[in-house]
Amino acid sequence: MTENRNETAARWIAHFDMDSFFAAVEQRDNEDYRGRPVIVGGLSARGVVSTASYEARRYGVHSAMPMTTARRRCPGGIFLPRDFARYSAASRQIFALMEQFSPRIEPLSIDEGFLDLTGMEGLMTSLADYGQRIKDAVHDATGLVVSVGIAPNKFLAKLASDLEKPDGLTILRPGDISRVVWPLPVSRLWGVGQKTAERLLALRLHTIGDVAAADLKTLAARLGPRLANHLHELANGIDDRPVETVYEAKSIGREITFERDIRCREEAEAQLLYLAGQVGWRLRRAGTRARTIQLKIRLQDFSTYTRRKTLPEDTCYDEEIYETARELFRAFPLPPGTGIRLLGISGSGFDGPGALSLFRDTRKKDRLYTAIDGLKKRFGEDIVRHGAGPEPS
């Protein structure tokens, strides 16, 4: 059933990177630009290229190139100034979408970032399926294309997202490092610029594999002990840097669009039980609790309603989330015979990691859920799934 039983690594991290982001936004918003070489950047005499569309790259145009060179190489290109207002709007939309996929997000730039997927394997059919869902969500919502890499650490994830660009999806597993990573040039090591690359080449280290096999003392003599150690570790696929969440997800939630509208209250409540289990788990994985539970209902005519309740105590427990959602659902005046198209539950109002109520002894419950989550992680989520609920497609 689930492939995730075989996905053994201490951590799983996704890196997403939009494909030729600025140029892609311009092509999305202007039909005339599609399929043509679009070059975005500073248009003054000393300007440089920010982004070139893939059509422009065929002419040898790339980012950071002087604009004058770009104009010479691609005289028929469409040259545009940067419109940061539109790029930031798209960026905000993309980062908001990512909150569906991980409670821990580290933005790296306007169009790329890391998602920590560690411990979420049980929520997935497989890593590849999860990566595809991230790609589909971005494309459906923004019309833009993203490349995704998933690997046991940040360096490998960032490398992976670049391997099959554009529209890439690459999973790098620990066993792939020697075959996939080692043949790459040293310049692909994260943090190796032109200067360091030249020093490595002077040591006759051409590939990442050469650096991985290099004598650490020789490396240190040339690069200094810190950089030598760091690059030697990266080359060997070792990178312990955590995903550093700069901003916390405002809510943690889950929703399902049904293949066929639900017309029966009992079935709807079974779906809520399933959703509550997913939301509870996500909250616990994020080390947080929600004070407010929100129910979302979309009816067959696409009218959408939300109902929320703030609890006296914050929670991360499936049954409390379920009871609250069910109460909200039962109070919702559903016209008889109306089909329900979508149901969702989310929690918000976080107290942050480790915030425990003073008046409530949660230790027993926490132990129980630690055990449940351990099982979910080991055997996939279905083993302890309450309620019905197919995975949404």
Contacts of 343 (CB under 8 A, 6+ apart): 255, 256, 258, 262, 268, 271, 272, 275, 295, 296, 297, 298
Q: How far is the CB of 157 from Mg ion (least distance, A)?
A: 14
- Residue 269 a catalytic site member: no
Task: Considering the complex, state which of residue 163 and residue 201 has its C-beta at the smaller distance from Mg ion.
Answer: 163
Distance of CA 196 to the CA centre of its chain: 30
Task: Considering the complex, state which of residue 106 and residue 111 has its C-beta at the smaller distance from Mg ion.
Answer: 111
- Residues pairing with 327 in the sheet: none
Task: Considering the complex, state which of residue 17 and residue 116 has its C-beta at the smaller distance from Mg ion.
Answer: 17
As a whole number of angstroms, the distance between CA 14 and CA 171 comes to: 9
Which sign, positive or negative, has the C-alpha torsion 349, 354, 358, 362? positive
Q: How far is the CB of 254 from Mg ion (least distance, A)?
A: 28
What is residue 57's three-state secondary structure?
helix
Residue 118 near residue 111 (C-beta atoms within 8 A): no
Task: Considering the complex, state which of residue 90 and residue 328 has its C-beta at the smaller distance from Mg ion.
Answer: 90
Q: How far is the CB of 39 from Mg ion (least distance, A)?
A: 15
Q: How far is the CB of 18 from Mg ion (least distance, A)?
A: 5
- Residues pairing with 51 in the sheet: 40
Closest CA to 242 of 355, 127, 114: 114
Task: Considering the complex, state which of residue 111 and residue 320 has its C-beta at the smaller distance from Mg ion.
Answer: 111
- One of 7, 26, 55, 112 is an active-site residue; which one? 112
Task: Considering the complex, state which of residue 18 and residue 219 has its C-beta at the smaller distance from Mg ion.
Answer: 18
Closest CA to 191 of 249, 235, 150, 146: 235
**Single-letter amino acid, residue 211:** V
Contacts of 13 (CB under 8 A, 6+ apart): 114, 115, 116, 117, 118, 150, 151, 152, 153, 154, 157, 243
Q: How far is the CB of 51 from Mg ion (least distance, A)?
A: 8
Residue 235 near residue 189 (C-beta atoms within 8 A): yes
Tell me the CB-side half-sphere exposure of residue 206, using CA atoms within 13 A. 2
- Residues pairing with 79 in the sheet: 39
Q: Which residues bind Mg ion (CB under 5 A)?
A: 17-18, 21, 111
As a whole number of angstroms, the distance between CA 374 and CA 388 comes to: 21
Task: Considering the complex, state which of residue 91 and residue 288 has its C-beta at the smaller distance from Mg ion.
Answer: 91
Q: Which residue matches tokens 């590849």?
A: 128
Q: How far is the CB of 258 from Mg ion (least distance, A)?
A: 35
The CB-nearest residue to Mg ion is 17
Q: How far is the CB of 42 from Mg ion (least distance, A)?
A: 18
Closest CA to 211 of 238, 233, 242, 190: 233
Q: Which residues are catalytic?
A: 112
